[in-house]
Amino acid sequence: MICYYIIMLDIKFIRENPDLIKEAARKKHIDFDVEKLLQIDEERRKILAEAEDLRAKQNSASEQIPQIKEDSERQKLIAEMKIVKEELSGEEDRLKVIVKEWESLMLDVPNVPDPSVPEGNSDLDNREIRKWGDVSAPDFEPKSHIELMENLGLVDLERGAKVAGFRGYFLKGDAALMSLAIWQLAFEMWVKKGFVPLIAPSLVREEGLIGSGWFPQGKEEVYKTQDDLYLAGTAEVPVMAFHREEILDEKELPKKYIAFSPCYRREIGSYGKDTKGIFRLHEFAKVEQVILCVADHEESVKWHEEITKNSEEIMRALGIPHRVVVNCGGDLKLANVKTYDIEAWIPSEHRYRETHSSSYFHDFQTRRLDIRYRGNDGKVRFCHSLNNTAIATPRALIALLENNQQKDGSIRVPEILVKYLGKEIISAEN
């Protein structure tokens, strides 16, 4: 049985551009055999044609049999159709096997990266394109976020581990209030920009994860419940599924959403990394930008730049020094056409660390989720999709605390957050 979702790239496009797919796989460092896919596809098409031919014979015979007056001729045709029926059954069984293999391969086809994506093997090869803020060393040795937070009673890791296991944590006091303030600030900023606010479900069906491109490759990173539901690793997953199997009107586009969600990731492969503090966690909170726009490359590029600048704006508002990098081919996921990362300066580490990821996908996700729109010309097309982190905590909190620490160990509250916290300084005394 053919699966319920639309496949990522148009198979016609793949047939006509195999070298482009090969180059996409090479640049993204993804092991994918396009020749095998085309071979399976050709076999699938052949079986489909044979099955259709047998089905046509059945239909024709069904019309002829009642009209045949001679019993012997009628019985002869009936006997022939029994053979055709058996042959058709065999072809359909073959088709089920080949379609299953075809679908599996189609889900592994990498999206074609933009020509502007640089070559590279990993995030170490990402290219800086701009930066903001003062990263000069203070006149004192900066404390790490965990030292600051423990000294000021802003986190409890011991009880967090007791309750939630490894990487468990409690945010306390002003850290909890500051997280709420950051989320509220994000919603206020994006609503002013015309984004529709959403609080998205954390539990999602498999369709949403396949559709957004997280599955099948990222299954090990996701928590599964006993009800065959999954805990989403980002609001992108439920929000992209929001319009699944819908046909929108062009005049409705772009659809712009700003969505809050708890996020859950198993962080497979990260053992031994960032074990101290609250930078790399199994659960965190995120406010996400998601956009659906018309199927036009220039339109996608325009929105990609805009949503990236939106996130830079909130980082500047919070006074967090940061830089923007364009991800190299080896740091692009299967679905992404192009990605920018925003990295915050972490004084205690004397380096930038990723806090945001901004990507566009063309119709990779919308084909899988069957999200289309009817253009002004009456034609139905797949939308283009984009997403970007607006702000994620506690990563943003880490950068905010470290960059606003003072010599005495207190934290200066950014002016824009004072109205939410009701104080300008976080110290052991208040």
What DSSP string describes 52-90?
HHHHHHHHHHHHHGGG---HHHHHHHHHHHHHHHHHHHH
Bridge-based pairing state of the strands 246-249 and 371-374: parallel
Q: Is residue 113 part of a domain?
A: no
pLDDT at 1: 32
Confidence class for position 413, pLDDT limits 50, 70, 90 = very high
Q: Looking at the structure, do residues 72 and 142 belong to the same domain, yes or no?
A: no
Place of tokens 């803020």: 133
Confidence class for position 268, pLDDT limits 50, 70, 90 = low
Confidence class for position 57, pLDDT limits 50, 70, 90 = confident
**Does the annotation mark 15 as catalytic?**
no
Q: Looking at the structure, do residues 150 and 232 belong to the same domain, yes or no?
A: yes
Q: Is residue 260 part of a domain?
A: yes
pLDDT at 269: 55
pLDDT at 243: 97
**Does the annotation mark 357 as catalytic?**
yes
Q: Is residue 44 part of a domain?
A: yes
**Mean pLDDT value of segment 46-62:** 86
Domain boundary among 106, 140, 167: 106
Of the listed 354, 381, 412, 427, which one is catalytic? Answer: 354
pLDDT at 18: 95
Domain tally for the chain? Answer: 2
Q: Looking at the structure, do residues 158 and 95 belong to the same domain, yes or no?
A: no
Q: How many CA atoms lie within 13 A of 110 on its CB side?
A: 29
Of the listed 288, 312, 395, 402, which one is catalytic? Answer: 395
**Does the annotation mark 280 as catalytic?**
yes
**Does the annotation mark 45 as catalytic?**
no
Q: Looking at the structure, do residues 131 and 212 belong to the same domain, yes or no?
A: yes
Distances in Å between the alpha carbon of 164 and those of 170, 283, 404? Answer: 10, 10, 29
Q: How many residues does the chain have?
A: 430
Instruction: Evaluate if residue 2 carries a pLDDT over 60.
Output: no
Q: What is the rounded average pLDDT for all residues in the chain?
A: 92
Q: Is residue 114 part of a domain?
A: no
Task: Report which residue type is found at 422.
Answer: G
Domain boundary among 106, 138, 162: 106
Residue 3: count of CB within 10 angstroms of its CB: 15
Of the listed 357, 358, 359, 410, which one is catalytic? Answer: 357
Query: Where residue 69 sits, what CATH number does that domain have?
Result: 1.10.287.40
176: phi then psi, degrees, rounded to nearest 5: -65, -45
Task: Name beta bridge partners: 257.
Answer: 196, 290
My answer on whether omega of the bond before 216 falls inside 30° of 0, hence cis, is yes
Share of the chain above pLDDT 70, in %: 96
**Mean pLDDT value of segment 367-383:** 96
Q: Is residue 2 part of a domain?
A: no
Place of tokens 């590029």: 301
pLDDT at 273: 63
Query: Where residue 178 sits, what CATH number does that domain have?
Result: 3.30.930.10
**Mean pLDDT value of segment 107-132:** 96
Q: Looking at the structure, do residues 209 and 353 belong to the same domain, yes or no?
A: yes
pLDDT at 319: 95
pLDDT at 14: 94
Q: Looking at the structure, do residues 86 and 153 belong to the same domain, yes or no?
A: no
Q: Is residue 211 part of a domain?
A: yes
Q: Looking at the structure, do residues 54 and 136 belong to the same domain, yes or no?
A: no
**Mean pLDDT value of segment 396-422:** 95
pLDDT at 216: 84
Instruction: Evaluate if residue 377 carries a pLDDT over 50.
Output: yes
Instruction: Evaluate if residue 64 carries a pLDDT over 90.
Output: no
pLDDT at 282: 87
- The model's pTM: 0.90
Task: Report which residue type is found at 167.
Answer: R
Confidence class for position 266, pLDDT limits 50, 70, 90 = confident
Q: In this predicted structure, which of 51-60, 129-138, 303-312, 383-392 has the lowest mean pLDDT?
A: 51-60
Q: Looking at the structure, do residues 128 and 101 belong to the same domain, yes or no?
A: no
Q: Looking at the structure, do residues 81 and 192 belong to the same domain, yes or no?
A: no
Domain boundary among 106, 131, 154: 106
Instruction: Evaluate if residue 271 carries a pLDDT over 60.
Output: no
Q: How far is CA 38 from the centre of its chain?
A: 27
265: phi then psi, degrees, rounded to nearest 5: -140, 135
Confidence class for position 155, pLDDT limits 50, 70, 90 = very high
**What residues make up the domain containing 151?**
123-426
Q: Looking at the structure, do residues 315 and 417 belong to the same domain, yes or no?
A: yes
Distances in Å between the alpha carbon of 334 and those of 185, 212, 214, 327? Answer: 32, 11, 9, 13
Of the listed 265, 367, 368, 372, which one is catalytic? Answer: 265
- Tokens, residue 241: 């599924």
**Does the annotation mark 395 as catalytic?**
yes
Of the listed 55, 74, 244, 280, which one is catalytic? Answer: 280
